Amino acid sequence: MFNVSWTHSVRRLVYTALTAAVYCSMSTAQAQVTGQVEDLGGIELAPGETIVKSIDEQSGMPVPLFNAQTNQPIVGSSVAGSAHAKSASHGSNCGCNQCAASAGGLEYGCFGSCEPGCYFRAEALMMRRDGDERFTLSREFRLTEFDHEGGMRFTIGRTCDCVDGYEATYTGGFQWDMSRQLGNPAGAAVGDPPGSFETLIISAPAPNDVNVDVFDGGTNVFQRQTYSADYDSFELNRTSTGWDVVRLLYGVRYIDYSERYRFSVIDNALGPNQTGFLQSDVDNDLLGAQVGLDMGYPLGERLWSMLRARGGVFMNLTDSTYRLDNDSTTEIYNFDDDRTLAGLLEFGTTLRYQLGDALSISGGYELWYLANVATAPAQLAREVSPGTGRKVDDSDDVFLHGAVFGVELNF
């Protein structure tokens, strides 16, 4: 799907820029507490090359020595601690030592070491689906809004070396629901004139008219509206990690987002149990490619600030069902499907705390945005005809946001 040489060129460009930024910041910090190394441990220097050392002011631990030409840690010096020597002994040109040094000599805060390994991350999410608040097809009451609902995100990944890796992620289990009902029994309340308990549904003029007399309203009427939405996502990505503080990813992703709306009416004034029923169901199946970025910034020896971003372009395969029953007769029953391009944006920020070399916990907030999807209210019309629901509207947007709490294990 992607041109390998092109992605490697972009990766080298990004990593080169990050190397320059990290090197400049390290040079600035070392300039304040630098000095000549007294014990070189048999290290041969190139002409004009100088090796310096510095001490972390907070932890008192030595920062490892670096070769000025290759910008790699030097093993064998009396200044380089055993933890750094262990990381360098993996035999790869990896930035894990730099990450460990910034944490006071402990291997905290890294995405992973240079050795091949795996990680598993489990997250609990409390997300809310915004939009379509106070939607209604009744003149008497409106729906309120969706609450924050719980879901989950599981990620399992493998690092092949200091740069390349793979990961798979499932996000889902979300079920948003809201409903409301209201009755106007015989002998309406004071101030409620007869026939005022009505809906917003009317019939189109002849010859496209349909029978909707149950929805006309009266004094002995019961109305109920329900609205629900579901979300699930599966993704498979290739990852590229740089210096344990930035991870780029790209891959494929599938999203299943569906909604359902129901409007039930019982009009006893027309006769015993005269019922009306309206249904609108939509299902969005999004399949496409995405790119992402995870970045970390150390706030202390164990505490990190993390940024998460995802963006994708998808083909949205949409299905829609519309049905309207008046008493025991189905007046409208239409289906439609469509294909359109859809988009996804995700942003999140969290704080991550390292409990040890292998275990960390995190908490933060995320925003999700889905563009060009079908929603149930977008398919509804107040004026109904036999053609209502024959064309699906998949140009709506969905906005989700909420809190996330997680735990990650490296092994």
From 170-179, 210-219, 344-353, 364-373, the region with the lowest mean pLDDT: 210-219
What is the distance between the alpha carbons of residues 408 and 385, in angstroms, rounded to a whole number? 54
For the segment 347-364, the average pLDDT, to the nearest whole number, is 95
Task: Between 28 and 411, name the one with better pLDDT.
Answer: 411
Give residue 10's pLDDT: 44
- DSSP E strands in 131-163: the ranges are 149-159
Report which of residues 295 and 1 the model is more confident about.
Answer: 295
The C-alpha atoms of residue 113 and residue 290 are separated, in whole angstroms, by 26
Euclidean distance between CA atoms 171 and 287, whole angstroms = 15
Q: Which helix (H) or strand (E) holds 26?
A: helix 4-30
The arithmetic mean of pLDDT across residues 183-201, rounded, is 64
Mean pLDDT confidence for 235-257: 93
Contacts for 85 with CB less than 8 Å, ≥ 6 apart = 75, 76
Residue 355 in this model has a pLDDT that exceeds 50:
yes
CB 101 within 8 A of CB 82: no
Between these two residues, 345 and 112, which has the higher pLDDT value? 345
Q: Is the per-residue pLDDT at 220 higher than 90?
A: no
* H or E segment to which residue 308 belongs: strand 303-326
Between CA 228 and CA 235, with CA 232 as vertex, the angle to 5 degrees is: 160
* pLDDT, averaged across the chain: 79
Name the amino acid, one letter, at 110.
Answer: C
Rounded to an integer, what distance in angstroms lies between the CA atom of residue 267 and that of residue 110? 65
Amino acid occupying residue 174 = F
The confidence band for 13, taking pLDDT boundaries of 50, 70 and 90, is very low
Q: What is the dihedral of CA 409, 115, 109, 50, to 10 degrees?
A: 170
Q: What would the two tokens of residue 99 be?
A: 């990450």
Q: What pLDDT is recorded for position 137?
A: 93
| Average confidence (pLDDT) over 348-362 | 95
- Comparing 62 with 252, which gets the higher pLDDT? 252
State the pLDDT at residue 299. Answer: 94
- What values do phi and psi take at 20, rounded to 5? -65, -40
In sequence order, the 6+-apart residues with CB closer than 8 A to the CB of 133 are: 143, 144, 145
**Residue 48 has what pLDDT?**
52
Q: Which residue type, as a one-letter code, is found at position 255?
A: I
User: Which H/E stretch holds residue 50?
Assistant: none
Query: Which pTM was predicted?
Result: 0.71
pLDDT digits (tens, 9 = 90+) for 42-87: 555 555 555 555 555 555 555 555 555 555 555 443 333 333 333 3
Residue 172 pLDDT greater than 90, yes or no = yes
pLDDT at position 251 is: 97
Task: Give me the pLDDT at residue 198, please.
Answer: 85
Do 221 and 268 contact (CB within 8 A), yes or no? yes
- Preceding peptide of 207 cis, ω within 30°: yes
Q: Is 381 within 8 Å of 392 (Cβ atoms)?
A: no
The torsion angles phi and psi of 188, rounded to 5 degrees, stand at -60, 160
Are 198 and 140 contacting, i.e. CB atoms less than 8 angstroms apart?
yes
Q: Tell me the pLDDT band of 239, cut-offs 50, 70 and 90.
A: very high
CA separation for the pair 112, 410 (Å, rounded):
7
152 compared with 34, residue with greater pLDDT? 152
pLDDT score for 115: 75
Place of tokens 């939607």: 135
> Which domains does the chain possess?
4-102 (no CATH), 117-410 (2.40.128)
Q: 347 or 31: whose pLDDT is higher? A: 347
* Confidence tier at 122 by pLDDT (50, 70, 90): very high
Distance separating alpha carbons of residues 318 and 271, to the nearest angstrom:
39
User: Is the predicted pLDDT of residue 16 greater than 50, yes or no?
Assistant: no
Q: What average pLDDT does the segment 145-173 reach?
A: 94
Distance of alpha carbon 304 from alpha carbon 293, whole angstroms: 16
Instruction: Please give the residue that has the higher pLDDT: either 131 or 345.
Output: 345
What is the C-alpha separation between 35 and 31, in angstroms, rounded?
9
Query: Would you say residue 176 has pLDDT above 50?
Result: yes
192 or 172, which is more confident: 172
* CA Rg value for the chain: 30
Counting every residue written for the chain, the total comes to 411
pLDDT at 7 over 60: no
Please give the pLDDT value at position 162: 79
- Contacts with 247 (C-beta within 8 Å, 6 or more apart), sequence order: 111, 239, 240, 241, 293, 294, 295
Q: Smallest Cα–Cα separation from 308: which of 297, 318, 324?
A: 297
- Within its chain, how far is the Cα of 338 from the centroid? 25
Q: Which amino acid is at 254?
A: Y
pLDDT at position 61: 58
Say if residue 124's pLDDT is above 90: yes
Residue 334's DSSP bridge partners are 322
Q: Is the pLDDT of residue 264 over 50?
A: yes
What average pLDDT does the segment 273-281 reach?
Answer: 90
